[in-house]
Structure 1
């Protein structure tokens, strides 16, 4: 059964974050809060963990459209091709924030994603998520946790999330109630921004 760990967003506890990082380094799956919906994540460098997430989602790993949750913009440049000035300015305006940006991937992508030409990048405006990635030292691969309830779509209550997911993951963070609106997805892979999904992130940045 998974651990259930309370972390306060306004002042994430170092020791608690270190616990989460250890679970990730050991190949565990973690459910954690973001600035939008709760996410399911694992260490980007751990193949077995990536395969577990793909199995839970019922998809083939190489076909999965997972996001990379990064700590900041310099973190992003490790995985995407050189970006032009206008793209960089847009990212700087929007991040950290409730956006997923689709960007052209470079050769540093983990081998499981080598066939992909693009990658979805997130820098959430949530201190728990950012601290985890900062302490881990590399991004986590992430996907939203959907709810079977068609009306809700996303679970927002950490205790209910724990109840449902405790046998599938290794740790659930209680970071307070989540949002039930997902991130805005903007495709920047072909130059001009294309909005693929309007979510929580405002389109005023464009």
Structure 2
């Protein structure tokens, strides 16, 4: 676990992020670390898809064990990446292309390119392509998908929109946080696609439910 003395808090403008200021975060991800960073749905934990150590740490932080029904989620750079890591019938692709980028999580059957440690017990994975500059820069400069897990409130949780409170709570669990200012958590809409292309709404969030 990281100590408070080693904790880094990178302050950035989420609307006009300087890629150079994100370099320490990218380097930490490349080393297999878990970071906290801002997204379009609130602050989240993140690690590189290729890091089994990072995936294990993120699972512990989120309390999602390997046999859990809830899939872990990754941020991807393009729709082509979504097709690489998830089984996407034509029906699903048409819906995804219409909705993304945006505040949606798409749950798909995972392909063989997804590490086993990331899949849920039924072999599914969540994928996001957000309309958020910090997220997009991180994935671009990391050169691979970014495993992500939202910071969800509990009875003893701080106000999760306040970076100072987040640092105080998590400085011994992670070593770096990207501070994008106060962000009120608003979850994404979660859509599940089966291999036939049928769609199930698992959660209603920011994104409007489309008419298919």
Q: 1:106-151: CA deviations, max 9, x gaps?
A: 111113246642211011111001110111011111111112248x
Once the two structures are TM-superposed, the CA of residue 61 in structure 1 deviates from its matched residue by: 3.3
- Alignment partner of 2:148 out of 127, 142, 152: 142
Q: Distance in 1 between matches of 2:180 and 2:211?
A: 27
State which of 47, 71, 75 in structure 2 corresponds to 1:42: 47
- Pairing of 1:3-18 with structure 2 (within 5 A): 3-18=8-23
Q: 1:154 and 1:125 mapped to 2: Cα distance?
A: 24
Provide the rounded CA distance (Å) in 2 between the counterparts of 1:24 and 1:174.
Answer: 16
Distance (Å, rounded) in 1 between the aligned partners of 2:23 and 2:36: 15
Partner of 2:63: 58
Q: Is residue 104–residue 118 contact of structure 1 (8 Å, CA) maintained in 2?
A: yes
Distance 2:32 2:137 in 1: 18
Summarize the alignment of residues 13-162 of structure 1 with structure 2, pairs less than 5 Å apart: 13-63=18-68, 65-81=71-87, 83-113=88-118, 116-149=122-155, 155-162=160-167
Q: CA RMSD in A?
A: 2.1
Q: Distance in 2 between matches of 1:74 and 1:170?
A: 32
| Local SS of the residue matching 2:84 | coil
TM-score, scaled to structure 2: 0.88
1:59 to 1:118, Cα distance in 2 relative to 1, 3 A: closer
1:195 to 201, 204, 207: 201
